[in-house]
Amino acid sequence: MITIRDVAKRAGVSVSTASRALNNNPRISDTTRVKVRKIADKLGYLPNYNAKNLTLGKANVVGVIFPPIDEDSQDNPFYIDMLRGINDSSLSHNFVLSVAMGSTTAKLLQNVKSMVQQAKIKSFVVLYTDSNDSVIKYLRQQQLDFVVIGQPEEGYADRFVDNDNVAAGQAATDYLIKHFSVKHPLFVQSEHKWQYEINRRLGYEKSMQINGLAPTLFELPETNLAQSLTTFLANHTQIDAVISTDDLGFISFYQAWQTIRPQNDVPAICFNRSSLINLLGQKIATVDMLPKELGSAAAELLFKQQQRQKIIEYKIN
């Protein structure tokens, strides 16, 4: 078995220098780091992560924290794509993933505490942001290394990766107005009012104001969607377009719309470009928030301590 001593000897450096080079210690020059890494790869050296973890008191694991949602929502393609991005970046740094889920904040927090206290996981990517969230509050209190995906809570210097959701909301609304000359586009969001939904709605309202139009909002109820939408549309017969804050919400809305107004398709655009939209049989414009890039960038921030944030572009298709 090839050891760190073999790598150090072949590179002509001390064992401690070889170890620091393989761990990307900034005290070691780039030239030496590259040289040692090439020799390690050539020799087939594999680090003893168990020994390293015992020494450092932490695991070579990135904890990925889902928002407190039901089991069905955990299959959301947007989260899966973010997970792929996190995994790709983590593997390039010899880290693996462990996922925390919970249907309530209390269950999710207990899961995260177990990861920290029992599995010795010290690095996390949080797939959501929310005001006064107890999970994120715990990560701060424990002084753990974490990055959130989304706009961080005001008053805290959490590292984050996000899209410009206000600009994206405005661009999506402008798209419908420009391409279809609509006058009464409806904005559809969930009852939870996630921060990204609030920001996208702000962009929608900004576009509506600039174009001299009145904004109209519909919140998707947890139950009795068809009944709620029937009542809403009876009072808002002028709706001539739809903007939805995410694809799964739009699918639910569209299916109810088709039941109520089967012969009245209207122009629509929704956030997140998943293949599920194609199943509707109607041409729907999408705002691709590039979830895989979001996940990859969030993981990279964990390994680049000097960088605090990164904004990812979006694409209208």
Would you put residue 98 in left (φ > 0), alpha (ψ -120 to 50) or beta? beta
pLDDT band at 69 (very low <50, low <70, confident <90, very high): confident
Domain with CATH 3.40.50.2300 in the chain: 61-162+292-312, 165-289
Choose from 85-94, 117-126, 163-172 the range with maximum mean pLDDT: 163-172
Provide the mean pLDDT of the chain: 92
Residue, of 120 and 203, whose pLDDT is higher: 203
> Which of 258, 127, 241 has the alpha carbon at shortest distance from 188?
241
DSSP codes, 224-267: -HHHHHHHHHHH-TT--EEEESSHHHHHHHHHHHHHH-TT----
Q: What pLDDT shows up at residue 228?
A: 97
Q: Strands across the sheet with 185-190, in order?
A: 216-220, 185-190, 241-244, 268-271, 285-288, 315-316
Distance (Å, rounded) from C-alpha 274 to C-alpha 232? 27
Q: What pLDDT shows up at residue 3?
A: 86
Mean per-residue pLDDT, 84-113: 94
Is residue 194 within a helix (H) or strand (E), and if so which, with residue range? none
Is the pTM for the entire model greater than 0.85? no
Q: What pLDDT shows up at residue 50?
A: 52
Phi and psi (nearest 5°) for 94? Answer: 65, 35
pLDDT band at 306 (very low <50, low <70, confident <90, very high): confident
Q: How far is CA 238 from CA 20, 23, 28, 207, 211, in A?
A: 66, 62, 66, 18, 17
Q: How far is CA 3 from the centre of its chain?
A: 38
Superfamily of domain 4-47: lambda repressor-like DNA-binding domains (1.10.260.40)
Domain with CATH 1.10.260.40 in the chain: 4-47
Q: Is 62 helix (H, G, I), strand (E, B) or coil?
A: strand
CATH number of 165-289: 3.40.50.2300
> Of 3.40.50.720, 3.30.365.10, 3.40.50.180, 3.40.50.2300, which CATH number belongs to 61-162+292-312?
3.40.50.2300
> Which of 135, 143, 132 has the alpha carbon at shortest distance from 58?
143
The tokens describing 218, both together, are: 């519909």
pLDDT digits (tens, 9 = 90+) for 242-269: 999 999 999 999 999 999 998 788 999 9
> Which of 196, 199, 204, 146 has the alpha carbon at shortest distance from 175?
204
Those residues whose C-beta lies under 8 Å from the C-beta of residue 76, and which sit 6 or more positions away, are 248
